[in-house]
Structure 1
Amino acid sequence: MVFGLLWIPATILASLLQTARNLAQRSLTDVIGVVGATQVRFLFGLPFALLFLALACLGLQRLPPEIGMASLGFTLWGALTQIAATALMLAAMRERSFAVTTAYTKTEPVQVALFGAALLGDALTPLKFLAIAIATAGVIVVSWKPGEKLTRAGLRPAVLGIVSGAFFALSAIGFRGGIQALPEGSFLIRASTILVLGLGLQTLLLVAYMLVADRQALILSLKSWRRSLSAGFLGAAASQFWFIGFSLTTAANVRTLALVEVPLAQIASRKLFAEGTSRREILGMAMIVGGVGLLLSLSLR
């Protein structure tokens, strides 16, 4: 029972670390571009993921489990969709505020719930779906401004953010599937193993692409190694806790609780970028908290 509830603090820690990582990546986007800032979390995160796995194996005195074709396939799926999701999110952040873009990407929980039920057989009761829907509706309230004209310029970042959320949903399902497909190991070792595999695949794919298509951005990311290393560590640490959550409960539960990142992004926006918070946004955040609270109450029964 204790380990069964560990997904709750793990998800909250992941959300805190991801908010910090997004801020670090946003600051790098103007320097090395969207693709360059996207690869930073993978290339500079991989050494930390290897360290996390080594510590887990030493602490538990166990070797990593053997990776079969099913686990590799799911993880590759998660790796590719996460690359697309991160690139789309950073592109949206160049056109809208940090907080609003984060809200757009957090339309993913309903999609995660449906994908998880259809592809992985994750349980989805009517009350849990209601909780997810309330929290997601809160995201829409936060992001939609009354009277705002839906121009082509305004539509672009919205579409980028929402599609980014869809790809994040698919990546969550892929990584949870990869963890579930491992034949053995504790939840910590299985989560750490898939994290290393996922970051390894992402690093290989993006570095190969950048060597051919955008070598200058890769060089700039290496020159900005201090900031890149910070983003890499935050990304790897956030992913470690996400994967711990995926190893213990459904991706829908994890991603719905992760909506606490929206209020966190609002706080960061206000403190760091002087972006205010309206009454409508406060109402939306209250809906998010209410939906998350309902989900937690159902999960604790």
Structure 2
Amino acid sequence: MELWIPITIAAAFSQNLRSALQKHLKGKIGTTGATFIRFGFGFPLAVLYLAVILKLTSEAVPDVGMTFYWAAALGGLAQIFGTFLLVHLFSYRNFAVGTAYSKTEPVQAAMFGFILLGEQLTPLGIGAIVLGIIGVLFISFGKERPSSAVVLSTLIGKPALIGLASAAFFGASAAFYRTASLSVEAESFLLQAAFTLVCVTAFQTAVMGSWMTVSCPAELRAAIRNWRLSGLVGLAGIAGSIGWFTAMTLQQVAYVRALAQIELVFTLAASWMFFREKITPVELAGCILVSLGGVGIVIAAS
């Protein structure tokens, strides 16, 4: 099995845990606060991870050029906007469906990967991504019986548009991160990913922290008061980010983000176990399609 596959699955699990904790905290610290803690409380852990990688590889802090700086900055901003929209989306539908709307990301990641890196997909890869997207739409039907009206609402309703925008930002951030990571002059892919992660997280923490200090200091204080849960979000978030950055250094962003849709399996499980939300046959069918799409992605990328 190629290394990027288990790394991506582990990252998807960590991201699901982070999203669940963010949803729980959203009512206490607001949407902006719940977005900030992913970066602010994860940054010290990212620095620690980089220190460990530098020790293990015996390499020095790598050199970078202008490509790294603009790609890392744009990727960081795109991820902030994507996270904010995803957290805001939880206000409209249940936990499982809220996450599902953002899962059109692989298609958009493929587009940005082609534009920025010239990456192309095989026919099997494209088919697997489409299969996964169909599964996402099944899950996004929620508790309603599928019908033309429900499909229309799913595709053009306000939650859908927010989810699509969130996916676009996440897709762009993935392509920018791969661009930045591949530009780092280091022998180890682990160091390329870790260094990029630290720089991006530092930038995101500074941007959001400064903006919140001026515009919504109450949410910043609330995030600090809830430091225990905020710290757990930071830990889960940085664990997921380590996985994403490493996997996207090894493999095309479209394949990584498509396989990451396996997160929906974890999402539905969390929805059932922690939020007591029932899973319908339609959602289950969607989950199976997403899983089959993930298998197709693994085969196509091998």
Q: Shorter-normalised TM-score: what interval?
A: over 0.9
Aligned-residue CA RMSD (Å): 1.5
Moved more, 188-197 or 118-127: 118-127
For residues 138-183 of structure 1, the C-alpha deviation after alignment (integer angstroms, 9 at most, x for no partner) is 111211342455679x922222122111111011111111101112
For residues 47-69 of structure 1, the C-alpha deviation after alignment (integer angstroms, 9 at most, x for no partner) is 00000000000011111211211
Q: 2:72–2:176: 8 Å Cα contact kept in structure 1?
A: yes
Match of 1:176 among 171, 175, 178: 178
Q: 1:65–1:185: 8 Å Cα contact kept in structure 2?
A: no
What residue number does 2:94 align with? 97
SS of residue paired to 2:157? helix
Describe how 1:1-301 pairs up with structure 2 within 5 A: 5-144=2-141, 145=144, 146-147=146-147, 155-300=157-302
Q: 2:132–2:261: 8 Å Cα contact kept in structure 1?
A: yes
Q: Which runs of 5+ in 1 are unaligned?
A: none
Moved more, 107-116 or 137-146: 137-146
Q: Compute the TM-score of the two structures, normalised by the length of structure 1.
A: 0.95
Shift of 1:118: 2.3
Shift of 1:133: 1.0
For residues 208-249 of structure 1, the C-alpha deviation after alignment (integer angstroms, 9 at most, x for no partner) is 001110011111111111111110111111100110101100
Identity of aligned residues (%): 36
Structure 2 distance, partners of 1:151, 1:20, is: 28
Matched to 1:261, the amino acid is: E
Alignment size in residue pairs: 296
Q: 1:113–1:129: 8 Å Cα contact kept in structure 2?
A: no
Q: Which runs of 5+ in 2 are unaligned?
A: none
Q: 1:46–1:199: 8 Å Cα contact kept in structure 2?
A: yes
